[in-house]
Amino acid sequence: MKKILYSVFFFSLLAVLFVQCAKDDLSIPSDTGTGGSLAAMTIINDHLYIIDNENIKIFRLTNPAQPAQIGEVNVGFGIETIFPYGGMLFIGSQTGMYIYDLQNPASPTLLAEHTHFYGCDPVVANDSIAFVTVRSAEWCRGTIPINQLELVDVTDPAQPYSIDFVDMNNPAGLGLDGDYLFVTDGAAGIKVFDVSDPYNEGAVLINSIPVNVFDVILLDGLMIAVGEENLYQFDYTDINNIMDVSTLSYQF
Amino acid sequence: MQKLCLLSSLLLVLIALSSCGDDLQEDFTVEGLRPVYIQPEEADTITSLPPQPIGQLGKIYYKDDLIYVGERGEGVHIVDNTNPFSPERIGFIRIPGNIDIAIKGNYLYGDNYRDLVTLDITDLNNVTEVSRLADVYPEVPQNYPKFYSGYFECVDPNLGFVMKWEPATLENPRCFR
């Protein structure tokens, strides 16, 4: 009997250790971090991509202490955000979205340009859809008052086309986690959309969070959201019941 | 001759009216932007500081339980997020003019006005500049705020370099775009 108890104890200990190790494996610090959708620089493996007003500048990070510029690609006027996905760069500009292929990481090549009205517009994407916010707030010098979320089919990234538009208040940053899209919409809060069936349903509003923020980072159930004076965190593990985690503010 | 006289008197009246208009213009206050200056010799000095008050937050970056929160034009707040229920500001990296950062390993890349700087962040209390590439970024207009239309306080180049623009209540601003 004692023997059985011992082996039960031994095996449970082993199980606990295994679980712990698996957890540790998952949390090995990654080499590069995660930026928000408004980022204007991004690192992919050994390359740093920076956008200025109209160019992508490419730096080699083989020696990470000494970035070396190895290329420059002229994109067009007013580019503002850079989002890496699936071996491509999605560039948001004041006039549209550009998709660049990174087969040769040192030399991005233009796959397509998808233009629309004048306004600010970060991009996030998955294999089939790019989500673009278009806003004509004062900072963006928009000429026509347009505030929208645009869904663009990028199944063939060389031939993007619009499939849906959703009216927004003052959309800025956005984040995508599986079937859920989070769009910061100024004073209207963070809007949560179900985008599991974009071709038939478009983006379906399922929830919203009443905070005025302009960008988010999604970390597998934890959302970090930034506003002018506050840094909020939310637990969205249950999408229908998003919970406050913390608020860091000036008064903190 | 009579016609000419009529015309000139009309012109005189017009001039009188327009100058009157100027004199009559009342004092006004309006929400706008004002420049925050930095001395040129400070502009490329990177410093590790204790936690700083939050002014106007910018972009965010996450790596290894730390959140790097931009303070527009001034640098980056470092927030220890080991426990997301009680994030803690543990320090500030002052990078004048900074808007964007990205991190690989122990190196942080960021814009410092027109330069791209590489910082060793192994010791967050003592961040050091390890390299700098000059003029990676294009020249920024110094005399007006980019992507903005509205009133702003005119720039006085004698006061230094414009570090950033901040929202302010302005009295009789003379600059508008």
pLDDT tens readout for residues B87-117: 999 999 999 999 999 999 999 999 999 999 9
pLDDT at B40: 83
How close A2 gets to chain B, by Cα (Å)? 41
Same domain, B48 and B22: no
CATH of the domain at B113: 2.40.10
Radius of gyration of chain A from Cα atoms? Answer: 21
Tens-digit pLDDT profile for residues B42-61: 899 999 999 999 989 999 99
pLDDT at A22: 42
Same domain, B107 and B169: no
Which residues in chain A have their CB less than 8 angstroms from residue B100's CB?
A: 39-41, 50
pLDDT at A214: 96
Same domain, B47 and B27: no
How close B157 gets to chain A, by Cα (Å)? 24
Tokens of B154: 């005119």
Q: How confident is the model at residue A98 (pLDDT cuts 50, 70, 90)?
A: very high
User: Is B138 in contact with A246 (Cβ distance < 8 A)?
Assistant: no
> Which residue in the set B103, B133, B147 is minimally distant from A33, CB to CB?
B103
Same domain, B169 and B92: no
Number of alpha carbons in the 13 Å side-chain half-sphere of residue A77? 4
Q: How confident is the model at residue A11 (pLDDT cuts 50, 70, 90)?
A: low
Kindly list the strands in the beta sheet with A96-101, ordered across the sheet, starting from the edge strand earlier in the chain: A79-85, A88-93, A96-101, A109-115
ipTM > 0.95 (yes/no): no
pLDDT at B146: 77
User: B70: buried, middle or exposed (CB in 10 Å: 19+, 13-18, 0-12)?
Assistant: buried
Q: Which of A44, A50, A60, A214 to mutate to test the interface with B (most CBs of B within 10 A)?
A: A50
Per the prediction, chain B carries an average pLDDT of 87
pLDDT at A118: 62
User: A109: buried, middle or exposed (CB in 10 Å: 19+, 13-18, 0-12)?
Assistant: exposed
Same domain, B145 and B169: yes
Same domain, B168 and B92: no
Same domain, B100 and B50: yes
Same domain, B145 and B126: no
Residue position matching structure tokens 């989070």: A182
Which is it for strands A88-93 and A79-85: parallel, antiparallel or unpaired?
antiparallel
The sign of the torsion formed by the CA atoms of B141, B146, B149, B155 equals: negative
How far is residue A229's CA from residue A249's CA, in Å, rounded to a whole number?
6
User: Is B118 in contact with A50 (Cβ distance < 8 A)?
Assistant: no
Q: How confident is the model at residue A18 (pLDDT cuts 50, 70, 90)?
A: very low
E strands within chain B? 29-38, 47-49, 57-63, 66-71, 75-80, 88-94, 101-104, 107-112, 115-120, 128-133, 151-152, 161-171, 175-176
The model's pTM is 0.82
3-state secondary structure of A51: strand
Q: Which of B31, B33, B56, B57 to mutate to test the interface with A (most CBs of A within 10 A)?
A: B57
A46, part of any domain: no
A155, part of any domain: yes
How far is residue B162's CA from residue B157's CA, in Å, rounded to a whole number?
8
User: Is B100 in contact with A40 (Cβ distance < 8 A)?
Assistant: yes
CATH of the domain at A188: 2.130.10.10
User: At residue A43, what are phi and psi to the nearest 5 degrees?
Assistant: -115, 130
How far is residue A161's CA from residue A163's CA, in Å, rounded to a whole number?
6
Q: How confident is the model at residue B22 (pLDDT cuts 50, 70, 90)?
A: very low
Kindly list the strands in the beta sheet with B107-112, ordered across the sheet, starting from the edge strand earlier in the chain: B101-104, B107-112, B115-120, B128-133
pLDDT at A12: 53
The residue among B142, B151, B149 whose CA lies nearest residue B173 is: B151
Tens-digit pLDDT profile for residues A35-86: 999 999 999 999 999 999 899 999 999 999 999 999 999 998 889 999 999 9
Same domain, B129 and B47: yes
User: Per the structure, how many domains does chain B have?
Assistant: 2
Tens-digit pLDDT profile for residues A159-210: 999 999 999 999 999 999 999 999 999 999 999 999 999 999 999 999 999 9
Q: Would you say A119 and A139 are in contact if contact means Cβ atoms under 8 Å apart?
A: no
User: Is A231 in contact with B131 (Cβ distance < 8 A)?
Assistant: no
A75, part of any domain: no
Same domain, B126 and B150: no
Full domain range(s) for residue B12? 2-34+141-176
How far is residue B170's CA from residue B65's CA, in Å, rounded to a whole number?
41
Q: Would you say A222 and A233 are in contact if contact means Cβ atoms under 8 Å apart?
A: yes
Count contacts between A and B (CB, < 8 Å): 135
Same domain, B129 and B152: no
The residue among B128, B38, B153, B58 whose CA lies nearest residue A40 is: B58
Same domain, B19 and B92: no
Full domain range(s) for residue A127? 99-249
User: Per the structure, how many domains does chain A have?
Assistant: 1
B139 touches chain A (CB under 8 A): no
Which residues in chain A have their CB less than 8 angstroms from residue B61's CB?
A: 33-36, 39, 217
